[in-house]
Structure 1
Amino acid sequence: MVMTLITSCATTASASKSPSFSGEWAYAKKCDLGHYLSLHLQQHGDRVTGDWSEGTNVRGNDGQLQGEVRGDTLYVRYCSDDGGKSYSACPAFSEREDQFKLEEGQLIRYEKYGSSYRRTVALYPDVTGKDVPYDKDCSDPEDAQ
């Protein structure tokens, strides 16, 4: 009986170390044709579901996502509501595509390039009534206003 309690406490303690990815996340860049990304994530244990929207000032796509948390990393697969952006039409999800990690209050996306991943954008919590900071890393410095 005592051994069961100790095991139960150890399991609960290790499970609580997993980060929570739940919430609304957004990235915005006005310059260089713009780039916008928003995620709505719902986490239940090590499983994450939600929806995504990504685009530029010219076009965009949206759809659903599924993910799995392993350690401090969220691994995500996508499908597209219209079959665009090289994702299959929902409900057929892609193979594992991107990784996300929480770093200093931001959700960092690592996009898959071949067999490796590259850090691409930092998403901020999307709070009602508060603007998401714009990425000012622009090709033309005059665009970074």
Structure 2
Amino acid sequence: RSFQGVTGYLKIDSSGDRETDFSLWDMDPETGAFRVVLNYNGTSQELVAVSGRKLNWPLGYPPPDIPKCGFDNEDPACNQDHLSTLEVLALVGSLSLLSILIVSFFIYRKMQLEKELASELWRVRWEDVEPSSLERHLRSAGS
């Protein structure tokens, strides 16, 4: 059924639903103003482009019908490049533990070396021992 309404010509389908008209608005990137670029006539079911106007796609072309990895990332090829959270945590934990062990080893070695040096402070090498002048005097007096 079709008739002229307050807002224009209306068509009601067999289910009692109104055949609606739609307009696609696009923002002009230079001016920032929105303008109609396409009209859909629900009565005639036609898509009519407004002359002299074109759609401005973000990348210069329309997006693909199906996303690269699917709508729910169901493509297994997309999930192979990334490490799971558990793998990242295990890697970070292992590297942290290894770093702590290496630093602890060097600190332990330094403490051991200082301990050895401290225990050797009382020792004197034989080459560093010089007889005193009194001892020399007594030796020369005895002969």
Asked if TM exceeds 0.5, the reply is no
TM-score, normalised via structure 1 length: 0.21
TM-score, normalised via structure 2 length: 0.21
Of Structure 1 and Structure 2, which has the larger fraction of its residues in helix? 2
